[in-house]
Amino acid sequence: MSELVRRLGIEKNLDLVKDFDMIVDKYRKIADATGYKGELRFKKEGGFVVVFVVLNDTEG
């Protein structure tokens, strides 16, 4: 079964490497503010990284 995710934003790959902790904190705050408590996932696309949050399963 596949996981449901929600896209939170896009960062430049170089910025992510340089300021990883700050960017993770930024997207963790965005996810928490919108009610998503799942883990953050990152997908590299060209020179950018797309940040996702895993949606929690509401069924048992």
Structure tokens at 21: 């902790």
pLDDT of 1 strictly over 70? no
Helical ranges in the chain per DSSP H: 13-18, 20-33
pLDDT in tens, 2-36: 789 999 999 999 999 999 999 999 999 999 999 99
C-alpha span between 24 and 28 (Å, rounded): 6
Which pLDDT does position 59 carry in this prediction?
43
The whole model's pTM is what? Answer: 0.84
Of 40, 45, 57, 55, which Cα lies nearest the Cα of 13?
45
